[in-house]
């Protein structure tokens, strides 16, 4: 309902603007013509009278357009809409009961002016949104080295360290599994963290659709990254065992 109101209000403004432009251009060309006539000719009162009366006519049209373009009620509508949206955001949930968060809602949570209970710092990784307010030293507005991560999903940056819009726009779904693993490890770091809190899913993102349903691209990323992580963990464990066995063998020889 609000959206429709706003659209019609915008359309109204737009039409008003076009009218204003057309009229003022018309008036301007009239004025130029009048000036030229004044300059070029020994003034003929009849001609001047005509342009004058035309000018007056244009002016009244212009006022008419201006008056119809800014009635007080059209100004109030968008404000009212904004207020209700800000103060009472309708909380939505996906089919599994996870809260659905919009990118614009996420973008508001950067903790500008200092993080608090009512001014939280949120970040999203692989489309999962966390409250990281307790990590203000890292993510705080204009503070920490990770401030770029606040208020957005910058998943690729967690692996590349290229913390800017270009880095955040990288197509991580095209990466090889090992590189993807870096992002996955950070994602589990947030998930398992003692004081960071999972809030919900980022709707309309690369990872979740508008209703908060997990998209196949995310399922694929998670599958590949977690499998790569399992393999890497196993390899590390085997290397450790091998080193221990070698140490033991050397000790027995002595």
Ligand X SMILES: *[C@@H]1O[C@H](CO)[C@@H](O)[C@H](O)[C@H]1NC(C)=O
SS3 for 175? coil
- For the bound state, the minimum distance from the C-beta of residue 128 to ligand X, rounded and expressed in Å, comes to 6
Would you count residue 201 as binding ligand X (CB under 6 A)? yes
Q: Which of these, 5, 15, 27, 7, lies nearest to 70 by C-alpha position?
A: 15
Per CB under 6 A, the segment of 29-37, 50-58, 186-194, 211-219 that binds ligand X is 211-219
- Is 192 a residue that touches ligand X (CB under 6 A)? no
* Residue of 1, 46, 90, 95 that binds ligand X (CB under 6 A): 95
Q: Is 102 in the site for ligand X (CB under 6 A)?
A: no
Q: How many residues does the chain have?
A: 254
Interaction with ligand X in 117-146: which residues (CB under 6 A)? 128
Write phi, then psi, for 151 (nearest 5 degrees): 75, 10
214 binding ligand X? (CB under 6 A): yes
Instruction: Assess contact for 201 and 127: CB atoms under 8 A.
Output: yes
Of 65, 98, 147, 187, which lies in the binding site for ligand X, with binding defined by CB under 6 A? Answer: 98
Longest dimension (CA), the chain: 124
> Taking the CB of residue 248, how many other CB atoms lie within 10 A of it?
10
3-state secondary structure of 207: coil
Residue 96 interacts with ligand X (CB under 6 A): yes or no: yes
Residues 247 and 44: their CA atoms lie apart, in Å, by 114
- 152 lies in the binding site for ligand X (CB under 6 A): no
For residue 139, give the nearest of 109, 172, 98 by alpha carbon: 109
Binding residue (CB under 6 A) for ligand X from 212, 224, 228, 229: 212
Q: Tell me the closest approach of the beta carbon of residue 229 to ligand X, in angstroms.
A: 18
| Residue 235 CB, nearest approach to ligand X (Å) | 28
What are the residues binding ligand X (CB under 6 A)?
94-96, 98, 128, 201, 212-214
């Amino acid at each position: 309902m609000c959206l429709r109101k706003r659209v019609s209000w915008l359309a109204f403004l737009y039409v008003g603007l076009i009218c204003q432009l057309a009229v003022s251009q018309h008036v301007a060309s009239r004025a130029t013509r009048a000036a030229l006539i004044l300059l070029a000719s020994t003034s003929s009162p009849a001609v001047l009278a005509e342009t004058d009366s035309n000018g007056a006519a244009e002016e009244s049209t212009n006022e008419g357009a201006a008056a119809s373009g800014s009635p007080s009620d059209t100004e109030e509508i968008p404000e009212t809409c904004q207020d209700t949206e800000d103060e009472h955001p309708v909380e939505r949930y996906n089919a599994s009961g996870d809260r659905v968060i919009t990118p614009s809602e996420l973008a508001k949570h950067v903790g500008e002016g200092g993080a608090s209970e009512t001014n939280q710092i949120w970040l999203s990784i692989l489309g999962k949104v966390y409250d990281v307010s307790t990590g203000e030293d890292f993510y705080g507005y204009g503070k920490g080295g990770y401030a770029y991560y606040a208020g957005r999903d910058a998943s690729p940056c967690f692996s590349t360290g290229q913390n800017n819009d270009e880095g955040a726009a990288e197509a991580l779904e095209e990466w090889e599994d090992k590189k993807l693993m870096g992002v996955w490890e950070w994602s589990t770091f947030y998930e398992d963290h003692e004081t960071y809190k999972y809030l919900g899913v980022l709707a309309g993102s690369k990872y979740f659709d508008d209703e908060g349903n997990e998209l196949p691209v995310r399922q694929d990323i998670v599958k590949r990254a977690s499998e790569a992580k399992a393999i890497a963990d196993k390899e590390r464990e085997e290397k450790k065992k091998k080193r221990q066995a070698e140490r033991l063998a050397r000790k027995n020889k002595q």
